[in-house]
Amino acid sequence: MMLSELISHSPDLKKLWDEGHSMEVTHGFLVVRDIPYVNSKTEIRRGALVTSLNLATPDKTTTPETHVIHFIGEYPCNRDGTSIKQIFHSTQDNDLVPGKLRVNHSFSNKPANGFQDYYEKLTSYIRVISNPAKSIDDSITEKTFQVVEATEAESVFHYLDTNSSRVEINQITEKLSGQRIAIIGLGGTGSYILDLLAKTPVAEIHLFDGDDFLQHNAFRSPGATPKGKFSEHLKKTDYLHEIYSSMHRHIISHPVNVDESNLAELTPMSFVFICMDTGEEKRRIISFLVENKASFIDVGIGVEDIDGSLIGKVRVTTSTTEQTGHLEKRISYAENKNDDYDRNIQIADLNSLCATLAIIKWKKIFGFYREHEKEFQTTFSIYTNEINNEDISA
């Protein structure tokens, strides 16, 4: 997101800009620099205020969600060097964006009705922080007219991830960045995995599936498909690429099935999600990944019709270099003639649950979530409503 776009659509930011404040936007945060303050030695220094951005649209601010603000610099003091205690919230170095945005303190000074916009929020804190410095030197000003433009060119998203910045988990979210992910099979579960992956900062998402997107697919995929789309005869990967490329810049469509002829395309991948029907092709894919020491998750859903009601299980099987010996007993490559899943296609809830369990496990592997024990097999039973973890790593 360009700062100029936000300024042109947000009156509060435009007012800050017009008054000469040095501003930039990075990773969902607004940074206002060149704020004069007094340190504990009664020296005049300059720092920066940092606040998460709450956006009504990708290019327009709305009311700030929190009155708390961050500061880069020493702790601001009165002109005699004593700390300005009325705004104290915490003092601790905090990487809001690892390697790119570190803050040193946070302040809290909430007005009775909260801050109505970012102009009110920033200028309120600037007054408290800067007045001691101005009382020492009346030529000091925070209005330097040195505007810094941030292009966010490095972002994989078309608009700011203000969800991570507003709850300040950017440093955790960054653990997922840089990965090249493959999804093999974009039916029900695979499309939900894409939906969740597209909201993460992975470098690339590769989609592999040679099938067309047909009317029945709409009933077990995320979102609502416009009726006219079916007449376009799109491949699943092309249809989903069209949708999710609106959010994530690097989604790559491969409208083919994975077989012996193109297995090598999986070699550069950081992680693979296998969401395809059972059979010998799946066996070849899994053998290739194991041989090449690739990490992957294989998912499966088995459903049976018992006296007019459905029972069954959702399965998530994980494989990493740490453990592969469990795969033969957990993944079946033979067709189950009693499995009614294929004809009961309108069970998007199971698809989405399976995808969610798979994504949570993937995030655990890369440290986004903390895990108590390393399970490599998870199953959910519809009938008993139980989740079982097995194949625990020693």
Domains along the sequence of the chain with CATH = 3-166 (no CATH), 177-392 (3.40.50.720)
**pLDDT level of residue 342 (50, 70, 90 thresholds):** very low
pLDDT at 394: 66
pLDDT at 162: 65
CB proximity list for 100: less than 8 A, separation 6 or greater: 26, 27
Q: Amino acid identity, residue 6?
A: L
Dihedral (C-alpha) 197, 53, 73, 96: value to the nearest 10 degrees?
A: -10
- In this predicted model, what pLDDT tens digit does every residue of 100-137 receive, in sequence order? 899 999 999 989 889 999 999 999 999 999 999 999 99
Neighbours of 226 (CB within 10 A): 9
pLDDT at 345: 40
Looking at the chain, the whole-number percentage of residues with pLDDT higher than 70 is 93
Q: Is the pLDDT of residue 149 over 80?
A: no
End-to-end CA distance of the chain: 45
Taken as a whole, the chain contains a residue count of: 394
Dihedral (C-alpha) 15, 17, 21, 27: value to the nearest 10 degrees?
A: 110
> What CA–CA distance (Å, rounded) separates 30 from 25?
5
pLDDT at 61: 93
Least trusted range by pLDDT, from 4-8, 69-73, 185-189, 205-209 = 4-8
- In this predicted model, what pLDDT tens digit does every residue of 185-231 receive, in sequence order? 998 899 999 999 999 999 999 999 999 988 888 888 899 989 988 88
What integer is the mean pLDDT of 169-174?
83
pLDDT at 29: 92
pLDDT at 344: 42
Alpha carbon of residue 364 to chain centroid: 14
The most confident of the ranges 26-30, 158-162, 225-229, 354-358 is: 354-358
Q: Which helix (H) or strand (E) holds 313?
A: strand 309-319
pLDDT at 157: 82
Going by DSSP bridges, is the β-strand pair 271-274/296-306 parallel, antiparallel, or unpaired? Answer: parallel
User: 72-91 in b/e burial notation, b at 16+ Cβ within 10 A?
Assistant: bbbbbbeeeeeebeebeeee
